Amino acid sequence: MIQRFLLARPARLGAAALAVLLTVSGCNLQKDIDVDLPAGPSQLVVECYLEPGVVPRLTVSETVPYLSSPTPTLLTDVAVVLTYPSGQKEAFRFTPGLDTLTQKLYTHKGKNPLVARPGDTFKLEVYDTQGRRVTGTATMPARVPIDTVQWKFNDKSAEERKAYVLVKFQDQAATADFYRMQIHTDSISNDPNRDFELDDRLTNGQLMTLGTSYRYSTNDTLLVTLYHLDQPYYQFLRSVDDAQNANGNPFAQPSAVRSTVEGGVGIFTILSYDRRKVIIR
């Protein structure tokens, strides 16, 4: 009867009915196949975020085959050269370590705190003894200040009483601008509990407001950071989000990461941001 019903009314075939039909008829649609993944040459992977007032640091690694172990390899034959806006060059030292503030590992380090102003352009060159070479160029965006940080509590009982946060800032009207907002609790060493990117296509020149859900409690200490991004870094972040969302999803199109460097994979940019520390009362 199930089969007659399906043949008579195919337009109303649902997932549940199809599952029953396959079970009754004993169909087996599973087939195991082996796919050979080509092993291409490994590339250098560069991660460098310059920040005014901070000694420059950089992490260099290399790509590995998709299904291989993610165990990192410390590359000891890599040279790093940073070119300043004046044309002066600085060779970074190979001194692997841990940034105690961000809890990120680095492999190479400069000598002195970086001096950078909005509009300054820096160049990066990374190369090794195998002939691999990665280059990149980055220009520091202007700092966009946070105008206000506000919050409001809901009307629930003390156990469920939470506040949402609103962050306001003025967008620049003369340019296309890109932003990233992060909110950390207690320390930026922790993962942010709010992190997203946006552009000003629909809000050019306006006072922009970014908000959260009801998630913060009384006496929570928040570090609110507004980054003003250059377009390559913004596109890199969005492509990373797309790649993470597509990974493991059989219905999503594969998405490649859009690097800001040439000759390899990775990011080279200059951070420009405003940060506020607030305590929810």
Q: Domain coordinates of the chain in residue numbers? A: 1-31, 44-139, 146-279
Q: Pairing state of beta strands 221-229 and 273-279?
A: antiparallel
CATH code of the domain occupying 44-139: 2.60.40.10
Note the pLDDT of residue 182: 97
The CATH number of 146-279, from 2.40.37.10, 1.20.810.10, 2.60.40.10, 1.10.3720.10, is 2.60.40.10
Tokens coding 250: 């059989």
Which pLDDT value is given to residue 184? 97
Q: Are 1 and 24 in contact (CB under 8 A)?
A: no
Answer whether 44-139 and 146-279 agree in fold: yes
* pLDDT tens across the length of the chain (281 residues): 333 333 333 344 454 444 444 455 555 666 666 656 566 789 999 999 999 999 999 999 999 887 777 677 899 999 999 999 999 999 999 999 998 888 889 999 999 999 999 999 999 999 999 999 999 999 999 999 999 999 999 999 888 999 999 999 999 998 999 999 999 999 998 899 999 999 999 999 999 999 999 999 999 999 999 999 999 999 999 999 888 887 767 676 777 889 999 999 999 999 999 999 999 99
What's the CA gap between 44 and 136, in Å, rounded? 13
Q: How far apart are CA 258 and CA 102, in angstroms?
A: 24
Gap between the Cα atoms of 79 and 81, Å rounded: 7
Can you give the pLDDT at residue 3? Answer: 36
CA distance 51 to 269: 9
**pTM of the predicted model as reported, rounded to 2 decimal places:** 0.82
Torsion from C-alpha of 92, 95, 98, 102, nearest 10 degrees: 0
